[in-house]
Amino acid sequence: MLTRTATQKVSSGRSFGAPAHEYQGVIEMMGAAMPFARNSEIYGEGEPAEYLYKVVSGTVRTSKILADGRRQIGAFYIAGDLFGLEAGDEHTFSAEAITETKVVMVKRSAVMAMAARDSALAHEMWTATSRELRHVQKHVLLLIKSAQERVAGFLLEMAQRHRSADTVELPMSRQDIADYLGLTIETISRTFTQLENSTVIAVPTARRIEIRNPSALKRLNS
């Protein structure tokens, strides 16, 4: 049994901001950048999937609350990542800003309509979904492993995605990590200290992890 996590709904405090200035694809061209406060909900599980989203800055988590109160985190998204893609008309997860976050939104219906004519865009959508699929498959591989291996895999994922070889600044809480890895905060904490004692990592502050022995981490990730 995992810890029950209360997800406090904070009033989302939305307001329109300036549109993103780097126009790389069709998607960016259509939306306006929108700020979300820490812990505010971007969309809820079961809501109609009206928009697609792209993180401009900050970090987003998608999550799902199970009937008995357990929470599973689907993924963390950082600047540049697309999220909110759904095949059906409803979001299967909810999405919340972990830190102050800016997000570009674009009407799903508009994208879908365009994709029906523009095969390049259609391909882009399909590729994004595939990338998502690949990530969830990796996630499955994490969840069958031991606590140490899960944490190691998580740190490597974070290091890789932030393109910082040896220092990871974690935007998420221990509870977020625990709910992502299917463990408890205590186990996360203990595993961090184990890894620190074996000089694989250093933890100068709770939210900053320094990877001292990357190959040892990779070995743990098996």
Is position 146 an interface residue for DNA (rule: CB under 7 A)? yes
Region near DNA per CB under 7 A, out of 18-26, 43-51, 126-134, 144-152: 144-152
- Contact at 8 Å (CB) between 116 and 122? yes
- Of 107, 131, 134, 207, the one binding DNA (CB under 7 A) is 207
Nearest residue (CB) to its own copies, 124 versus 196: 124
DSSP of 93-108: SEEEESSSEEEEEEEH
Is position 7 an interface residue for DNA (rule: CB under 7 A)?
no
Residue 216 interface partner, choices its own copies, DNA, none, CB cut-off 5-8 Å depending on type: none
Residues at the contact surface with its own copies, assessed by CB under 8 A: 1-2, 64, 66-68, 70, 72, 74, 86-88, 92-93, 115-117, 119, 122-123, 125-127, 129-134, 136-137, 139-141, 143-144, 146, 182, 222
Decide: is 2 part of the binding site for DNA (CB under 7 A): yes
Are the beta carbons of 182 and 139 closer than 8 angstroms? no
DSSP strands (E only) in the chain? 33-36, 41-43, 51-57, 60-65, 71-77, 82-83, 94-97, 101-107, 167-169, 201-205, 208-211
Q: Which two tokens stand for residue 114?
A: 């365009």
Distances (CA, A) of 202 to 168, 193, 208, 211: 10, 9, 8, 7
Which of 40, 63, 187, 221 touches DNA by CB under 7 A?
187
Closer Cβ to its own copies, 20 or 200, answer by number: 200
φ/ψ of residue 53, rounded to 5: -130, 150
184 is a contact residue toward DNA (CB under 7 A):
yes
